[in-house]
Structure 1
């Protein structure tokens, strides 16, 4: 009997030890090993990602970086000067992944084209909608922002916040949504999120609903705060779309550290009345940012 009890006690302590080890392994932060990249002054290095690039941070101004014209998932790199000290580069892609690089200068890089292809992902180029570059999107978004056209308005007012869609424009494969946020209260409104969905209309509780999130290509006059007793307008560029039957387009505005959340419900008859933007002169100069 004593041997059985001893075995039970020992087994209990081993179980606790195992839980402790598992907990430590779960809490242990995972490091992301940086990828080494060599760049030079006279040649361009191309990095191909499996998803569109949404953010780039350079550790030094010695590195020149830009997204390739017409390709949302290719980053082009050059050196701003000879023999700069080692630095780093961080790239965030639309699939939610953070990519880290250590950048060094080399007059003759051994590799000029780098594929960040992951397992089970095809190494293909993701074209921006309509294969437009950033200059084109910015130009047309600015035109839509200041256009005198007043289309069919969709608006909602709650908690002293007026949120409205007062213009839908289209050019090639992009739609430009002009939004206005007016704060009639004395408390500033800090924007946490601005999201876009195609959703099913209300159904019975037992019926599964589906939604498709639409990711903006560009936001012109992006704001993060609406002061009290003030108003701001912005334009959001998204891939063109229409809404199937029994669905609607939802635009959600969320307040940071607050509860003043507002949603606009846009019907298809409003979207199909989008106004075509005129052809504008675009500065296509190839520059590094």
Structure 2
């Protein structure tokens, strides 16, 4: 047999072994084409992704969107293995989903460009450190927003800006703070940052100030500018602090104006929180 033919057969055999993919009959089939990017839409932020082949590249353009695209140089190799392109695994905050990827030469308008990850395609997970999923937090937050912001648990005002703590709720190991900001001035308030800090209730010049900053694990809306009113829901992990300290919620405006407003919460405010 001609040596060149033998060499070519060996190369083809090695390529088949390199690109051969496992096909699982228990998984849904999703078509993928060289001309169309495939987007998986997750109901939760995606925590982890595994693609069983280097012939397909993936990235996360958004926290709940996985984008897959065939590597151009790999298209010819799919002809060796048939339509099986690999398996993609997507892990959310509370689920895992897997799909068979099938390569197709179909026209762009016949190949799906997006796939919604449906409940029937997932299996539940118990992920350490995630007591509530983002979807559950959003559901709780929307329920809070349905209640009028008529009650005032705490308030503060300065420089024409007023802050009101409307409600405090707990769910699991999380605290939900419902806060409304009002702008009484004619200047739009451009939010620079919002910080949550446990600090001493009374500060004197001779006192060493001890401050512990807490980062919200989730909030309903991103910080932005507001002209007259701004209401948001912030979620914190449960924390305890003594009676001589307070939880300061500091709202800072972008320079040059730089107006700062601090809303002070006592630990007693958190103890009286309603539960979902």
TM-score, normalization: structure 1? Answer: 0.54
Give the deviation of 1:203 after TM superposition: 4.1
Distance 1:276-1:104 versus aligned 2 partners, 3 A rule: same
> What CA deviation, in whole Å up to 9, does each residue of 1:190-238 have, x standing for no partner?
11111111112334434322222111122113340112xx212111111
The number of equivalent residue pairs is: 190
Q: Which residue of 2 aligns with 1:197?
A: 197
Q: Which residue of 1 aligns with 2:48?
A: 76
> What CA deviation, in whole Å up to 9, does each residue of 1:59-96 have, x standing for no partner?
x9645476978xxxx723267xxx66x5655899xxxx
Structure 1: gaps (5+ residues): 1-39, 44-59, 93-101, 114-124, 278-289
Which sits farther off after the overlay, 243-252 or 204-213?
A: 204-213
Q: Which residue of 2 aligns with 1:274?
A: 273
Structure 2: gaps (5+ residues): 1-20, 25-35, 75-84, 92-126
Is the Cα contact below 8 Å between 2:243 and 2:266 reproduced in 1?
no
Is the Cα contact below 8 Å between 1:151 and 1:166 reproduced in 2?
yes
Give the deviation of 1:132 after TM superposition: 1.5
Q: Which residue of 2 aligns with 1:174?
A: 174
Q: Which residue of 1 aligns with 2:31?
A: none
TM-score, normalization: structure 2? Answer: 0.57
Q: Which residue of 1 aligns with 2:226?
A: 226
Give the deviation of 1:174 after TM superposition: 1.1
Q: Which residue of 2 aligns with 1:141?
A: 141
Cα distance between partner residues in 2 of 1:65 and 1:103: 15
> What CA deviation, in whole Å up to 9, does each residue of 1:256-282 have, x standing for no partner?
1222111011112222111112xxxxx
Distance 1:259-1:174 versus aligned 2 partners, 3 A rule: same
